[in-house]
């Protein structure tokens, strides 16, 4: 069919509080909504982690607030083992889904992808709005799990839906199977332990809802990027943030349906008497389980990790994009090896689909497939290394401005290296004999997900806050936030490796049962103190956000002297992003310190005619607007 184009009636900006700020179709508002959700979720997740640390360091502590809120799970304010495990589960679930899979993509991506490619909005604004609200509903359902298990009355109400799958009120704050929810523990219902009734069922439903929200978002990102780039914005002129959001969306598109499928099967095993994951002849808590037969617990693991591995790249890729972008901006230098960076993003994304078995080396699956997964896993280290080299290359010969976003971007490189490099250890089958399910694993994924990814979000926040809200964030508070957090996260997570070296298993409510763990006491206490300080300092960040909204220094349209399209438009951007004007792009996104140019930055919209001396002082690489040298 011949492609024709039409004029579009520009829709007037919405009026009324509800249409402007609640049920808004504007990608900018939706982006902020996602960020607010993430800021709330991360607070809950951090509080849970501090409670966990206190329990591990000083078992038997009386925590007054627990006694009031959860008298069954924490009698006398002393956390029970099952209460601890429910914290582990909810901490992981909340952080991975409602923080790492919302803010980087749904938050900043929603806000800035359309602007950075010169579009008016996302391709499907209604779907975009729905994606946020569906995600929020998912979060509310997850919070319900806390109360369904934590509160007797609510738990009893849920029990009416079915004793086995829906009994609640066990006193925990949710299910106790970890965010990975392995079957059959998660499939058997109440008989498998406290928290495994209503807690698990609500958890599954929450995640299923989240899957749908995520898929709606991914659909939008991909279509928008492919269909709505403005004139001159070729793929190879897009900022690396856009490449990252695009690849992340593709990963989400293809991995979340698998989790959804697995979740449906798990729920059916719980409520419909099916046996997808539950074998027969189980003897649980003193009696035989007659209902199931022939299911495969490994099948759950395959489905979960086929999703789970791409998920961790979903969590980190936007941060990598933001880091590249911010490093280049404040180094006043083009990104080193733009094309290699794009290739690396793709390679990481694609390879990410072929390595899920490295979570399952000792699961009982075929040891031959373990070998294949292991070799593929170490291969993923290569594109990650390329990115690291290129970040260093970007900083070499630079003229670095140490603003707060830059500090966090540099911090990202540091913690990503620290966390990623231990993947070389964990990815080997022979070493997994020792390290599987120990704190060495927890060290690895916290450094990459819980730190690097969060640093990407911090960098993005400090960087884009002026554009979003028209005011600068306070630099002094920002630097204070950075320094304590940077030192703090290393203090927390590097010792985790040492605990892993001792053989310390994950998800243990206490460490006092085993002699081989007795030398861990000092480490455990040290980490808890560091964690309390690091979590506490985040108050400065929250305070800075709120204070700057009202009293921050007013921001110009381009306070950072950056080059991409969001800095060509007003601060904050108008409803249609470019005030009726259509941006035209003439060059690549990282034209800094161009010899002969009047400023040390040239915006993407700056037309040809600027004298560009392409030979002087330049090494081979990609040209500023994508051409090869």
Of 100-108, 160-168, 268-276, 535-543, which part binds another protein (CB under 8 A)? 268-276
List the structure tokens of 480. Answer: 């204070």
Residue 36 makes contact with another protein by CB under 8 A? no
DSSP 290: -
Residue 128 makes contact with another protein by CB under 8 A? no
Contact residues for 167 (Cβ-Cβ < 8 A; gap 6+): 155, 158, 159, 189, 190, 197, 198
Window 78 to 107, contacts with another protein (CB under 8 A): 80-82, 85
By residue count, the chain amounts to 629
Residue with tokens 């659909």: 219
Residue 451 makes contact with another protein by CB under 8 A? no
Residue whose CB is less far from another protein, 42 or 498: 498
**Which residue in 12, 153, 515, 551 binds another protein (CB under 8 A)?**
515
**Which residue in 513, 550, 551, 598 binds another protein (CB under 8 A)?**
513
Residue with tokens 């081979």: 620
**Which residue in 27, 48, 120, 135 binds another protein (CB under 8 A)?**
120
Residue 43 makes contact with another protein by CB under 8 A? no
Cis check for the bond before 572: say yes or no (omega within 30 of 0): yes
Dist. CA 354–CA 389, nearest whole Å: 24
Window 188 to 217, contacts with another protein (CB under 8 A): 188, 192-194, 215
Residue 61 makes contact with another protein by CB under 8 A? no
The candidate with the shortest Cα–Cα distance to 515, out of 526, 501, 504, is: 504
**Which residue in 47, 480, 502, 529 binds another protein (CB under 8 A)?**
502
Binding residues with another protein: total (CB under 8 A): 207
Residue whose CB is less far from another protein, 25 or 549: 25
Dist. CA 215–CA 256, nearest whole Å: 7
Residue whose CB is less far from another protein, 76 or 574: 574
Residue 624 makes contact with another protein by CB under 8 A? yes
Residue 274 makes contact with another protein by CB under 8 A? yes
Residue 275 makes contact with another protein by CB under 8 A? yes
Core vs surface per residue 261-290: b (16+ CB within 10 A) or e: ebbebbbebbbeebbbbbeeebeeeeeebe
Window 397 to 426, contacts with another protein (CB under 8 A): 397-402, 407, 410, 413-414, 417-418, 421-422, 424-425
Window 563 to 602, contacts with another protein (CB under 8 A): 567-569, 581-587, 592-595, 600
Window 466 to 495, contacts with another protein (CB under 8 A): 479, 483, 486-487, 490, 494-495
Residue whose CB is less far from another protein, 32 or 197: 197
Residue whose CB is less far from another protein, 77 or 279: 279
The candidate with the shortest Cα–Cα distance to 36, out of 95, 105, 103, is: 103
List the structure tokens of 253. Answer: 């598109």
Question: 192: left (phi > 0), else alpha (psi -120 to 50), else beta?
Answer: alpha
CB of 498 to another protein, least distance (A): 4
User: Is the four-CA dihedral 198, 174, 183, 277 of positive or negative sign?
Assistant: positive
């Amino acid at each position: 069919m011949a492609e024709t184009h039409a004029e579009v009636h520009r829709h007037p900006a919405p009026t009324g509080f509800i249409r402007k700020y609640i049920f808004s179709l504007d990608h900018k508002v939706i982006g902020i909504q996602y960020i607010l959700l993430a800021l709330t979720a991360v607070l809950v997740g951090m509080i849970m982690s501090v409670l966990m640390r206190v329990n591990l360091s000083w078992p038997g502590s009386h925590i007054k607030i627990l006694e009031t809120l959860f008298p069954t799970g924490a009698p006398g304010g002393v956390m029970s083992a099952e209460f601890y495990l429910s914290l582990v589960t909810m901490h992981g679930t909340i952080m991975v889904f409602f923080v790492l899979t919302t803010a980087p993509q749904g938050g900043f991506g929603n806000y800035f992808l359309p602007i950075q490619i010169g579009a008016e909005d996302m391709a499907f604004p209604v779907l975009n709005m729905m994606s946020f609200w569906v995600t929020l509903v998912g979060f509310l359902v997850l919070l319900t799990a806390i109360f369904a298990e934590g509160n007797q009355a609510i738990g009893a109400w849920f029990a009416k839906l079915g004793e086995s799958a829906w009994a609640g009120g066990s006193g925990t704050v949710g299910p106790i199977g970890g965010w990975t929810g392995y079957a059959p523990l998660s499939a058997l219902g109440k008989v498998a332990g406290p928290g495994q009734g209503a807690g698990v069922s609500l958890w599954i439903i929450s995640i299923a809802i989240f899957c749908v929200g995520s898929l709606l978002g991914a659909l939008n990102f991909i279509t928008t990027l492919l269909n709505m780039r403005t004139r001159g914005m070729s793929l190879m002129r897009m900022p690396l943030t856009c490449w990252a959001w695009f690849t992340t969306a593709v990963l989400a598109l293809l991995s979340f349906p698998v989790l959804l499928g697995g979740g449906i099967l798990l729920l059916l095993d719980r409520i419909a008497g099916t046996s997808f994951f539950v074998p027969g002849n189980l003897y649980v808590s003193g009696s035989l389980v007659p209902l199931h037969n022939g299911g495969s617990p490994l099948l759950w693991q395959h489905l979960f990790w086929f999703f789970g591995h791409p998920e961790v790249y979903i969590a980190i890729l936007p941060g990598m994009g933001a880091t590249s972008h911010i490093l280049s901006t404040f180094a006043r230098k083009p990104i080193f090896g733009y094309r290699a960076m794009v290739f690396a993003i793709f390679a990481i994304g694609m390879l990410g689909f072929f390595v899920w078995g490295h979570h399952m080396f000792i699961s009982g699956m075929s040891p031959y497939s373990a070998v294949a997964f292991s070799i593929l896993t170490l291969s993923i280290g290569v594109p990650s290394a390329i990115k690291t080299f290129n970040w260093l290359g970007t900083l070499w010969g630079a003229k670095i401005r140490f603003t707060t976003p830059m500090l966090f971007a540099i911090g990202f490189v540091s913690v990503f290296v620290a966390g990623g490099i231990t993947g070389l250890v964990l990815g080997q089958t022979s070493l997994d004999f020792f390290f599987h399910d120990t704190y060495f694993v927890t060290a690895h994924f916290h450094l990459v997900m819980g730190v690097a990814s969060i640093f990407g979000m911090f960098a993005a926040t400090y960087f884009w806050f002026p554009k979003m809200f028209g005011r600068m964030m306070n630099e002094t508070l920002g630097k204070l936030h950075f320094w304590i957090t940077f030192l703090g996260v290393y203090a927390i997570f590097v010792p985790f490796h040492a605990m892993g070296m001792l053989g310390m298993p994950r998800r243990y409510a206490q460490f006092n049962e085993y002699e081989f763990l007795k030398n861990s006491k000092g480490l455990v206490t040290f980490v808890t103190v560091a964690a309390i300080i690091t979590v506490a300092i985040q108050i400065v960040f929250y305070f800075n956000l709120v204070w700057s909204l009202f009293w921050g220094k007013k921001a110009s349209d381009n306070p950072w002297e950056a080059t991409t399209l969001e800095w060509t438009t007003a601060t904050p951007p108008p409803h249609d992003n470019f005030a009726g004007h259509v941006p035209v792009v003439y060059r690549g996104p990282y034209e800094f310190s161009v010899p002969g140019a009047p400023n040390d930055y040239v915006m993407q919209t700056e037309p040809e005619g600027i004298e560009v001396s392409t030979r002087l002082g330049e090494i081979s690489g990609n040209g500023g607007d994508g051409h090869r040298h």
